[in-house]
Every structure is written in structure tokens, then in C-alpha cells.
Structure 1
Amino acid sequence: MDPQQLRTFVAVVDHRSFSAAAQALGYTQSAVSQHVASLETDLEAPLLTRRPVAPTEAGERLLEHARPLLLRLDAARADVARLRQVRPGRLAVACTPGTLTPATALALVRARSAAPQLAVSVRVCGRTEAVQSVLTGGADLALVDGAVAATDPLPLPDAGPLTAFPISEEPLAVLLPAAHPLVGRPTLRLADLAVARWIDAADAAVPLAELRAAAQSDGFGHQLTYTGTDVRGLSVLVAAGAGLTTAALSAAGDLPGVVAVPISEPRIVHRTELLHPRTPTTPAAELAATLRSAQSPR
């Protein structure tokens, strides 16, 4: 299979349109159609219906392989480029919500002061996007967080050949509306909240699938989905009674209208880890060393 044909196929599926995919890829529509047709000939199976544009059963199966294959191809290209220090004059950091602490911000400012020519950028995004940004060269390192048992590694999407190490760990808390009947409790058992109404906010809080796994429960249903990385906006929904969510205990102190109650059972923690390539650029390696030296258990 030709990687470019795979990339075109994925673009058509994502845009649900041959013309929109052509515009996004900078191709003519006939070239896009030819790529898809060649792929279908190669695999001896129809991959897309045309009206409406949608993947067939074979197309759905191919998608399961195509996305990770293309990601790893992009990651390979970026990994080789790093060996040549293609972009030593930039320091691009991808962060999941809540991971940009004062200590990290200070380290970034010091890096910029030590090298005035350094182009420093910070982007807040979801966990998958942060990891993929480092893999494919869009970012030089990433700060990602999640909830895990104290002795377990942070569950990450396909991180390939990235190096990860923890930089902070603290209690995980449930965010409740200020008038919630459980606000007076010193701690809460996660399993007792399985039947509560939750907000599905995979990029701004712990994904509900991870809470189900931790509590060994099929509960944690939601009636509202929150798309985005604005933790303060998410807390506004909690305060209004839209549902519960989670946050690091220290990050919840300045959120208006909500109360953070630590989870006591099971013993899970909120951990932040730093990810970087095996061969980081010089600025990324220096920042990683600074953050590692500043690491202190909570």
C-alpha cells in the first residue's frame, strides 16, 4: 500500500467529501479519486461509498490500521530530523490542561532569557494531541497528566519511542457543586459515585473510561459532553449542576462554585509526566533536565 494513498483515504473519511479532502491536501479532486480507486484495486475491496461518502466495512477495518501507520511514518521522519538538529532554535511545548505549573512556566522563561534567539511556544491541548505532537515533530516535549494507581505508569496513547518521567504526583479529587450533599465529606470512595451524573470531558479531566476501570464499575454515565481544554469553563458546568468531574486537588482551589473532595479509595493519584524524544533537541534536553532536577514528591 502506498502511504500517500492511505493518507488521502483517511482525509476523505475525515472530511466526508472528496472535494474537501482535495482542498485540504492541495490535490485536484480527480487525483484524490484516483488515489482511492488505486487503493481499492490494490486491496480488492470497496473502501468508500460515494453518496454519502462513508467508509464501508472494509474501509472501517483499514482505518484501524491506517491512522497508527501514518502516525508512525510521521514519527520516523521527525525522529531522523532530530538527529540533524533541524530546529535547534525553537522550543515548542505541548501541555494538557493543568500541567503548566508556576515552576514549569519559570523554567520556560529562564530558557528564553538564557537564549534570546530561542523561539518558545506553548500549546494547551488534549493528551492524544500532545503525545502525537512530540512524535511527529510539532512539539519538542510534552507535559501530560492522568489518574493512575500510585505504582502504575501513566496510560498514554501510542507514544512510540518517547521517553517519559514523572514530575509531580498528588491526590485526585472529585469536583462537586458547592451545594452538593457530599461536600462535607473529608474523602470519597470512587465506587460510591458510579451512579452519579458525570460530565464527559476527555481532554480536560480524567476520561470516564479510566474512572470505570479504576472503580471496576460499568457506571459513570454522562448526559453532557464537554469538548475542549478549559478547566475553568468545565468547573462552571459542574457548579451549575451539569455533572461531576475530576481534577488534581491543588488545581481545584481557585475554581469558583465548586468544592474538591479527595478520592480515598481506590488509591489513585493525579500524575504529571514529561515526554520527550530519545534524541531531543538541545533546548528541549536542557528544559527536561531543569524540570527533572526540580522534581519533588508531594
Structure 2
Amino acid sequence: MDQRQLRALVAVGEHRSFSAAAKALLTVQSNISTHVSRLEAELGVVLIDRATMELTDEGQVVAERARRIEHEFEALTSDVAAMRDVVSGRVRAGVIGTTARWLVPPLLTALKEGYPEVHVVWLDATTSSLALQLIGGQIDLAVVNTPLEEPELTTTPLFDEDRLLVAPLHHPLADRESVTLAEISQHELLLEAEGTSFRAELDDDAAAAGVQLRAQAEVDGMRLLASLAFAGFGAAVLPASAAPGWLEGEWRRIPIEGMGRRSVGLARRRRGLPSAAERAVADTIHSVVAAEAPLQRGIHAVSSSG
């Protein structure tokens, strides 16, 4: 068993074909097929269903281990380079979309200035998707909504953000300076879909106030939800980062009394040691949040040792 065989299996699992895996690894299809076949022969199991090109149950277990092994190889290289006072390596980082809008641009600048030899691949996705990819080893760390109910992951706090009502100018509540949960419960709202952490916390706040929110429409995607509110389809409860201060239109931001804040943190796998490059990216994320959060309307940095 060698690293090339493990890389080939992971690539086939991700791309669902030998040819696409070969292209991704800059090799030829016959090499990929040979590596996988030899790995199967050594382990005595079928790792890929040739009819569907999906990983078998055994293949999924081996691929998850293979990702961890690859991560350790990358961490080893990064740590040795750091001992020469040069932090280098590749880091795969995820970030929720509403936060990416204001965090990633200054983060790119800070990383380029502080760690020019660190190459970061960024992924914009939802918290649930990022958590699964962290557990599976596809990414190394991620900025996500917290708390996470995943025992395999650990988080450190980054910031809290206000939840507010975004109402089109024609909405009955648009002229209010603030509203209560009881008041917004009298109107149909654009809401995040049930099953999302944001919706669960929103429903908990409403229940604590003795009211139930009514959905005009449910949307699984914060940016789409915000876009519908901005376009005048209805009022929506959004995190502050979904309605940044520089964005203006035919709508108003209205504070909601008695509404808790959304918490955002930095997540990574509980098992294993982060590489020097990962530690550099994590430290930079914390420092950039501390510097940028005060400049963002409704976002409040949380002090943390990182």
C-alpha cells in the first residue's frame, strides 16, 4: 500500500470516474485503475462499484482514512518547513457565505503579507455542508455557525452578530425603529427552512416570547433569503452580515427586541494535530476578525485565545 494508491481511490470517489480522477491527479487513466486494483487486491475487498463508480462501504472507510493520512503528510511537510522559519503548505478552508463577504477579502491580504508560502483553497458553503466535509477530511478548518452538535469537531468563538428584520419599504413594519417578536409574529415572514441552525434558534427565541412565527416562504439558503427580502417579496429575519452596512436599497434594517445573537466560530477536527500552515491560517482568521468586526454593522468580535 502506498500514497499513490490512496490518492487514486480518493480521487475516484470524488470524481466518480477513472478518467476524471486521472485528470485531477495529472496522470493517465490506466495508472488510476492500476493503483485502485492493487489496493483492492492488497486489502481483499472491492472498494469501487464499477457499475455506479461509487465507493463501496469498505471504500468509504478506506477513503476517509486516506484523507487523514494525506493530511498528515501535508502537515509533516509544513511543520518541517516551519522549523526553518518558513511556514508553508496547503490549507483547505471553508466559510459560510454571509461571513465570506466581509471576512475573506482582508483575510487574503493578511495571509499574503504574513504567510506568502501558505496556499489556501477556499470553499463557500453552508454550516451543515462544511461540518460534514471537516469530518470527512475534505477540508481542514471552517468558519461556521455555532454551536455544532458534532462530537468529532471542536470550535473556538470568533464573533456574534445581531439578528434583525429586513423589511421592504412597503411593509407595515418598515417605518418602525424597532420591533418585538410578538409584533413580527403578526405578519408572514420569509424564513430559513426548518432544520437549519438559524431557524432553530429563531424558533427557540419566539417560543421563549410565547409566540410562533408564520412563514410566507421557507428558504434553505441565507443569501437567497436575503435577496428575496431586498427585492421586496417580503420581510425576513436575517443575521447582520446578510445585510451589510454598505448595501442599501428599497428596504430597511429594523432591530428586533429580545432577539438573541447568532454565534460564529472556527471549527476543525478534534483528532489530529493541525499543521503549521493550518495554525497560521487559524491565527490570521482570529486577528482579522478582531480588526474587521468593529467596522461591520451589528457584528461583535468575541475575545479568544484562538
TM-score (norm 1): 0.62
- Which of the residues 275, 280, 284 maps onto 1:286? 280
1:67 alignment partner in structure 2: none
- 5+ residue gaps, structure 1, are 1-24, 37-69, 146-153
1:273 alignment partner in structure 2: 265
User: Could you tell me how far apart the structure 1 residues matched to 2:133 and 2:53 are?
Assistant: 28
- Which of the residues 251, 257, 272 maps onto 1:258? 251
SS in 2 for 1:166: strand
- The change in CA–CA distance for 1:247 and 1:281 in structure 2 (over 3 A counts) is farther
User: Could you tell me how far apart the structure 2 residues matched to 1:249 and 1:269 are?
Assistant: 9
1:261 shift after superposition: 1.0
1:173 shift after superposition: 0.8
Mapping 1:5-154, distance limit 5 Å = 27-29=49-51, 78-79=67-68, 81-85=70-74, 88=78, 89-100=89-100, 102-145=102-145, 154=146
Mapping 1:215-226, distance limit 5 Å = 215-216=206-207, 219-226=212-219
1:255 shift after superposition: 4.8
Given that 2:162 and 2:262 are in contact with CA atoms closer than 8 Å, whether structure 1 keeps it comes out as yes
Percent identity reads: 22
SS in 2 for 1:243: coil
Given that 1:201 and 1:207 are in contact with CA atoms closer than 8 Å, whether structure 2 keeps it comes out as yes
Moved more, 125-134 or 178-187: 178-187
Q: Aligned Cα RMSD in Å?
A: 3.7
1:214 shift after superposition: 1.4
User: Could you tell me how far apart the structure 1 residues matched to 2:231 and 2:104 are?
Assistant: 32
- The change in CA–CA distance for 1:177 and 1:112 in structure 2 (over 3 A counts) is same
1:26 shift after superposition: 5.3
Equivalent pairs counted in the alignment come to 227
Given that 2:181 and 2:206 are in contact with CA atoms closer than 8 Å, whether structure 1 keeps it comes out as yes
Instruction: Write the deviation string for residues 172-198 of structure 1: whole angstroms up to 9, x where unpaired.
Output: 111111221212222221233234222
- 5+ residue gaps, structure 2, are 1-46, 79-88, 291-299, 302-306
SS in 2 for 1:280: coil
| Alignment partner of 1:162 is 2:156 | no
Given that 1:74 and 1:135 are in contact with CA atoms closer than 8 Å, whether structure 2 keeps it comes out as no
- The change in CA–CA distance for 1:189 and 1:206 in structure 2 (over 3 A counts) is farther
User: Could you tell me how far apart the structure 2 residues matched to 1:181 and 1:276 are?
Assistant: 44
Given that 1:131 and 1:157 are in contact with CA atoms closer than 8 Å, whether structure 2 keeps it comes out as no
Instruction: Write the deviation string for residues 249-279 of structure 1: whole angstroms up to 9, x where unpaired.
Output: 354131533211112214x013221112342
Given that 1:208 and 1:220 are in contact with CA atoms closer than 8 Å, whether structure 2 keeps it comes out as no
| Alignment partner of 1:173 is 2:164 | yes
